[in-house]
Amino acid sequence: MNGLSARRLRVLLAAFVLFSGAVSYRVVSFAVLQGPVLAQRAEAFRYREDIVPAHRGDILDARGRVLATDIPADRVSAIVRQVEDPHRTAQLLAPLIGRSAEDIEAALTQPGREWVVLQRQLDPEVSAQIRALELPGIVLDPEPKRAYPMGDFASQVLGFVNWEYRGAYGLEAAYDSVVGGIPGQLVGERDLAGNVIALGQSSWNPPKDGATLVLTIDSAVQYIAESVLDRTIQEQRAAGGTIIIMDVRTGAILAMANRPSFDPNRFTAVSDPALFVNPSVSATYEPGSTFKVITMALGLDAGVVTPQTVVDGGAYRELPDGTRIYNALLQEFGPETMTEVLIHSSNVGAMEVVDRLGPERFYDGVERFGFGQPTGVDLPGEVEGIVNRPGTAGWSLTTFYTNAFGQGIAVTPLQLVTAVSAIANGGVLMRPYIVQEIRDGQRIQVTQPTPVRRVIREETARTLSEMLAEVMDSYSTRFRIPGYRIAAKTGTAEIPGPHGYERGEGATIASVIGYGPVENPRFCVLVKIDRPKGSPWGERAAGPAFAEVFRQLLLLYGIPPSQPVNSVTGEGGRP
Amino acid sequence: MMVAEGVRSVTGSRPQPVGRPIVRRRGRAWLALTLVLVGALAGLCLLYLEQTSRVVELGYELTALQHQRDSVALEAAALRYELARRQSLARIYELATREYGMVPLRRVEPLEVERSPVLPTPTPTEPPRAPWWQRANDALLGIGRAQAGDEP
């Protein structure tokens, strides 16, 4: 009996020692070996950090219309191990979230994945449908979505917001730090459901919502520009185009329409990312005869010509090396005044002006007008254009003379509008801008018009305006704006290619630039039509659009006619 | 010792155990005090528990309200978006031309309107001045006099 008891005791002792050893091992394992890792994991579970996204500020037009805003959306995800039937789940979700059932099933059955995002930025209606399905393991999390209520309206100006909710192009990118806000941070002790325990330790760094941008873009003016541009492109079977309208007194951009464009709500559907770029500031072209306005301004300002100066308008000018540079269509105008040089759009006449100016004064003046350098507009991706000065690799005597009529020089549409606006503004160049106000809570930052420099004398600007008004009158058989005196110049530019200038149909850029009313200039308008097939000429392809834009603009702003007129007849088309 | 046990004391009173009632009284007092303290402590604990659970409850309520506020803000944003979409000029144009039969502007006739002649500004007249004796009397008696001005 005693022996049995002793044996039992030994067995019990051994079992106890074994058990104690096992427990001790686990204790040491948890507390010492895995201690730091487990403690860290527990800490992370209890004190989870949540990034609280800031609301992105709205973008409004000058009339307060919403151009970009945040709307509620959801992100649908799956906790993979909780999904009971991946096949059925995929079948039910596929028609709702716009992904194939196979694709979803593959995502749900990925080995080693605990969590997978199935789709983002779902509309509230779709979220409600998913919620109603009550699928195990499928969760919906709210996330903001950027929306552009007017679709492709001014899309290249606005840009869009990418999947990371950062501005990708346009104003969304340029003002990302202002509009985007600063995300907040919530670190708190949480219960099992993930709710922050009120009495637990927590720190709350609230998000700072983004500021609201108010643009100088007037949606009514932008609508006029886009509608007229669309119609003209269709009529002319053109590849694209640009219309810019600027307030000449301030440099505020009232409209900036580009085609082709895209819908920022569906930026993922765009196959060519080049469409995202704003060609008004990021693409250059040879302005052609519209540049004669600048040449003439410099000639008049330097006093080397006057409106009455007569030059021999032959068909061509022969350079010392034997190169001949011709007028368009080899036209010969005979003796012509400077005003007639502009009316005829005489290349030979323009070459005479730069000849009298000399390269130094000419290029100094061109740079003074802002060519060859960014305008400083508050839009991203602005390029500086190409102005080859004497001594640079791209310069020759031929380019010097062709620069006089806008060939061999590359400018952005905005550079040209800004430069011509300076003439309309009495010779003072203004820095163009597109954001009028930044509203950050109670703080409102208003952009003040910024004069850059005087480029020509006021008297010169006035003289040139009178000359350009006569030029506009000369187009009256093609396009006119009855009752108003408008200063304008057309241009038909050839497009340089790898083997010289392109030839054939659709090988020009047709444009008109002008401002008015001449008595008190308010607006500068550039209409640029790329590769028109209806007519290659600026006067025919872009002229009617220019007149239509100006007519609508003057009516919209209620500017009365300055000349007696019985009636101002519209085209009867869309505005 | 045995004899002494049966002997009454000279005073005739029964012998009393020395100090016992005081101990009993003190014991009761301590007990009462302990009970009071325990009661107070229990009360405090209950109060603390009540407050804690109330704060936690309020915390959850606050979180729920914050969520509600966020969803209302998002709903307001959605409504603002819908409003902006409906205010789109392209949509207004379509509505105006298709549903209401409006047509684009074809003819504008500026009308010359003659501005009405500018009336001469009336010369302000000097208000009648009270005699000196009345002004002195007013000053002495503190009388103020109102006077009709040009403005309504």
Query: CA A243, CA A225: separation in Å to the nearest integer?
Result: 6
Sequence-distant (≥ 6) Cβ neighbours of residue A571 within 8 angstroms: A544, A548
Same domain, A128 and A169: no
- pLDDT for the residue B141: 75
- pLDDT for the residue A566: 58
Q: Give B2's pLDDT tier (boundaries 50, 70, 90).
A: very low
Q: Which residues of B touch A (CB under 8 A)?
A: 52, 55-56, 58-60, 62-63, 70-71, 73-75, 77-78, 80-85, 87-90, 93, 103-110
- pLDDT for the residue B13: 54
Does the pLDDT at position A143 exceed 90?
no
Mean pLDDT value across residues A301-322: 93
Q: Which site among B61, B67, B79, B88 would you substitute to test the A interface, given the most A Cβ atoms closer than 10 Å to its Cβ? A: B88
Asked if the structure places residue A36 within a domain, the reply is no
Asked if the structure places residue A19 within a domain, the reply is no
Contact B81 A483 (CB under 8 A): no
Same domain, A354 and A469: yes
> From the DSSP assignment, how many helices (H) and strands (E) are in chain A?
19, 24
Same domain, A481 and A458: yes
Does the pLDDT at position A177 exceed 90?
yes
Most confident of A7-11, A83-87, A447-451: A447-451
Residues of A annotated as part of the active site:
289
pLDDT tens readout for residues A102-129 = 999 998 988 878 888 899 888 878 888 9
Chain A residue numbers with beta carbons less than 8 Å from the beta carbon of B63 are 195-196
What's the CATH number where A374 sits?
Answer: 3.40.710.10
Mean pLDDT value across residues A79-90: 90
- Which range (A118-122, B19-23, B28-32) has the least confidence? B19-23
- pLDDT for the residue A278: 97
Q: Is the dihedral of CA A265, A269, A273, A279 positive or negative?
A: negative
Nearest chain B Cα to A55, which residue?
Answer: B74
Domain boundary among A215, A238, A259: A215
The partner residue sitting opposite A567, judged by closest CB among B83, B87, B107, is B107
Domain boundary among A215, A247, A263: A215
- pLDDT for the residue B145: 66
Asked if the structure places residue A568 within a domain, the reply is no
| pTM given for the model | 0.79
Q: Between B90 and A543, where is the model more confident? A: A543
Strand ranges inside A202-285, DSSP E: 202-205, 212-215, 240-247, 253-259
Nearest chain B Cα to A68, which residue?
Answer: B81
Nearest chain B Cα to A552, which residue?
Answer: B105
What's the CATH number where A159 sits?
Answer: 3.90.1310.10
User: For residue A511, how far is the Cα from the chain centroid?
Assistant: 21
What phi and psi values does residue A88 have, to the nearest 5 degrees? -65, -40
Do the beta carbons of residue A525 and residue A515 sit within 8 Å?
yes
Same domain, A66 and A79: no
Same domain, A126 and A248: no
Contact A69 B81 (CB under 8 A): yes
Q: Give B5's pLDDT tier (boundaries 50, 70, 90).
A: very low
Mean pLDDT of chain A: 91
- pLDDT for the residue B15: 57
Does the pLDDT at position A574 exceed 50?
no
Asked if the structure places residue A101 within a domain, the reply is no
Contact B77 A573 (CB under 8 A): no
Asked if the structure places residue A1 within a domain, the reply is no
Chain A closest-CA separation from residue B104 CA (Å):
6
- Domain that includes residue A348, residue range: 219-557
Contact B88 A150 (CB under 8 A): yes
Same domain, A173 and A232: no
Q: How many CB pairs under 8 A join A and B?
A: 97
Do the beta carbons of residue A526 and residue A511 sit within 8 Å?
yes
Does the pLDDT at position A506 exceed 70?
yes
Sequence-distant (≥ 6) Cβ neighbours of residue A206 within 8 angstroms: A52, A184
Q: How many domains does chain A have?
A: 3
Mean pLDDT value across residues A439-453: 95
Does the pLDDT at position A439 exceed 90?
yes
Do the beta carbons of residue A199 and residue B59 sit within 8 Å?
yes
Same domain, A201 and A249: no
Q: Would you call the peptide bond into A183 cis, given omega within 30 degrees of 0 as the criterion?
A: no
Q: Between A525 and B84, where is the model more confident? A: A525
Domain boundary among A154, A183, A215: A215
Same domain, A274 and A319: yes
Q: Is A343 exposed, middle or buried (0-12, 13-18, 19+ CB in 10 A)?
A: buried
Chain A residue numbers with beta carbons less than 8 Å from the beta carbon of B56 are 197-199
A386: DSSP letter: B
Q: Give A571's pLDDT tier (boundaries 50, 70, 90).
A: very low
Most confident of A181-195, A393-407, B94-108: A393-407
Q: Give A572's pLDDT tier (boundaries 50, 70, 90).
A: very low
- Which range (A172-176, A399-403, B15-19) has the least confidence? B15-19
Does the pLDDT at position A239 exceed 80?
yes
What's the 3-state SS for A139-177? EEEEEEEEECCCCCCCHHHHCCECCCCCECCHHHHHCHH
- pLDDT for the residue A336: 95
Chain B closest-CA separation from residue A543 CA (Å):
19
Does the pLDDT at position A432 exceed 50?
yes
What CA–CA distances, in Å, run from B46 to A192, A199, A272, B61? 25, 17, 69, 22
Sequence-distant (≥ 6) Cβ neighbours of residue B124 within 8 angstroms: B150
User: For residue A223, how far is the Cα from the chain centroid?
Assistant: 16
- pLDDT for the residue B72: 87
The partner residue sitting opposite B55, judged by closest CB among A198, A220, A561, is A198
Mean pLDDT of chain B: 78
Q: In A382-421, which positions are buried (b, 16+ CB within 10 angstroms) versus exposed (e)?
A: bebbebbbeeeeebeeebbbbbbbbbbbbbbbbbbbbbbb
**pLDDT > 70: percent of chain A:** 96
Nearest chain A Cα to B79, which residue?
Answer: A71
Same domain, A259 and A334: yes
Mean pLDDT value across residues A445-472: 97
Chain B closest-CA separation from residue A193 CA (Å):
11
Same domain, A239 and A189: no
Chain B closest-CA separation from residue A561 CA (Å):
8
Asked if the structure places residue A123 within a domain, the reply is yes
Asked if the structure places residue A16 within a domain, the reply is no
Same domain, A126 and A186: no
**pLDDT > 90: percent of chain B:** 20
Does the pLDDT at position A157 exceed 70?
yes
pLDDT tens readout for residues A244-265 = 999 999 999 999 999 999 999 9
Query: Which of helix, strand or coil describes residue A239?
Result: coil
Contact B74 A142 (CB under 8 A): yes
pLDDT tens readout for residues B62-113 = 888 988 887 788 788 888 888 988 988 889 999 999 999 998 877 777 777 7
Asked if the structure places residue A110 within a domain, the reply is no
Contact A199 B80 (CB under 8 A): no
Same domain, A229 and A354: yes
Q: Would you call the peptide bond into B17 cis, given omega within 30 degrees of 0 as the criterion?
A: no
